[in-house]
């Protein structure tokens, strides 16, 4: 059960409420986010919701049987809109495009990518400065200095930054230079990291774990939300299956399912999802049709020279074409939604 508390609930009213809920055999966890105060009740017994709902200090009460609670649509029907400022949103009924290299490599590269994004009216730039690599000998990113340089140039161009945070100690140092913290597929269940991201007031995009279920992704989002931060985005980026012909299996089934289960926006990453440059555009457009609220893909001035993930990275001509087709496909999807 989720009980949303009134802002002006007194301590006395709150303890009376907790006693009442404990009395029916439910264990209570108090959650304070940047937007509201909640009591999360966990238990199995049947109870009369009207009886509890009548207690003083309650703004709203809902029965949510899912393991995740606050990210569930059973509680909050209205979709969550992520407002990044300057008219940039990630939200239901809209199509956010996030593009850029796998890794941030140099000032020259940043400038070229930013120009490309500006030419195509793309407002969100992706790129890693802390790179999780399968091999410790591979390029591991430019680090904080790279992020600062990138931020300066992106800021001038009015472009927002999406970048991966790999560990707790990076959250604070990255904070001034980030618009969306990305939690990578290898960190989806790094609960310490998720807890700490609950304390910041910037958006967090959580990628689905490499072998993670849809439910586990939602549970990870619940960690951040219950830690205090409601600004969450979910990302389907492909899962590991027995199939070896593609890098991952982009599970587009997850998109309508996540949208039905949760009020959070959902973004699709076709680059990591299929891992083969030539097929990224098809899967991006399939992602749009599956109901995604955004597409994130890798683009680089010379993909074959990219320090990481070149095999799945589009060049600028391909990216220009894809951005246009994403918008056209989204417009087409909207006509279907009217039916």
Nearest approach, Cβ of residue 138 and ligand PEP (Å): 12
CB nearer Mn ion, residue 100 or residue 212? 100
Nearer Cβ to ligand PEP (226/248):
248
Nearest distance from C-beta of residue 272 to Mn ion, angstroms:
6
Q: How far is the CB of 164 from ligand PEP (least distance, A)?
A: 6
Residues that bind ligand PEP (CB under 6 A): 102, 128, 132, 184-186, 207, 237, 272
Q: Which does 207 bind (CB under 5 to 8 A by kind): Mn ion, ligand PEP, none?
A: ligand PEP
Give 75 or 298: the residue with its C-beta nearer to ligand PEP. Answer: 298
The entry of ligand PEP, Mn ion, none that residue 100 binds, CB within 5 to 8 Å by partner kind: none
Which of Mn ion, ligand PEP, none is residue 259 near (CB under 5 to 8 Å by kind)? none
Looking at the Cβ atoms of 72 and 248, the one nearer to ligand PEP is 248
Taking CB within 5 to 8 Å according to partner kind, which of ligand PEP, Mn ion, none is near residue 142? none
Residue length of the chain: 339
Q: Indicate the residue whose CB is closest to ligand PEP.
A: 184
Residue 160 near which of Mn ion, ligand PEP, none (CB within 5-8 Å, type-dependent): none
Q: Which does 184 bind (CB under 5 to 8 A by kind): ligand PEP, Mn ion, none?
A: ligand PEP
Closest separation between CB of residue 298 and Mn ion, Å?
A: 6
38 versus 307: smaller Cβ distance to ligand PEP: 307
């Amino acid at each position: 059960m989720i009980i949303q508390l009134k802002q002006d609930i007194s301590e006395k009213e709150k303890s009376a409420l907790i006693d009442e809920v404990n009395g029916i055999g439910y264990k209570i966890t108090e959650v304070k986010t940047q937007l509201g105060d909640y009591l999360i009740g966990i238990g199995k017994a049947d109870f009369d919701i009207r009886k509890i709902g009548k207690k003083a200090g309650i703004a709203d009460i809902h029965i949510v049987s899912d393991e995740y609670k606050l990210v569930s649509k059973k509680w909050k029907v209205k979709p969550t809109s992520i407002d990044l400022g300057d008219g940039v949103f990630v939200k239901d009924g809209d199509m956010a495009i996030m593009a850029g290299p796998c890794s941030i490599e140099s000032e020259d590269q940043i400038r070229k990518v930013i120009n490309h994004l500006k030419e195509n009216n793309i407002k969100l730039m992706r790129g890693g400065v802390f790179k999780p690599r399968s091999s410790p000998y591979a390029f591991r990113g430019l680090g904080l200095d790279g992020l600062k340089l990138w931020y300066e140039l992106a800021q001038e161009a009015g472009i927002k930054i999406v970048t991966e945070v790999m560990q707790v100690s990076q959250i604070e140092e990255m904070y001034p230079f980030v618009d969306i913290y990305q939690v990578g597929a290898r960190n989806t269940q790094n609960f310490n990291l998720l807890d700490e991201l609950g304390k910041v007031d910037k958006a967090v995009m959580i990628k689905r774990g490499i072998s993670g279920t849809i439910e586990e992704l939602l549970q990870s989002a619940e960690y951040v939300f219950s830690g205090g931060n409601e600004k969450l985005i979910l990302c389907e980026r492909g899962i590991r299956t027995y199939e070896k012909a593609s890098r991952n299996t982009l599970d587009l089934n997850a998109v309508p399912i996540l949208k039905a289960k949760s009020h959070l926006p959902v973004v699709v990453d076709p680059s990591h999802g299929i891992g083969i440059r030539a097929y990224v555009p098809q899967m991006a457009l399939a992602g749009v049709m599956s109901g995604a609220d955004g597409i994130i893909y890798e683009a680089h001035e010379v993909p074959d020279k990219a320090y990481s993930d070149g095999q799945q990275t589009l060049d600028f001509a391909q990216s220009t074409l894809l951005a246009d087709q994403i918008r056209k496909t989204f417009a087409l999807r909207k006509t279907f939604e009217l039916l």
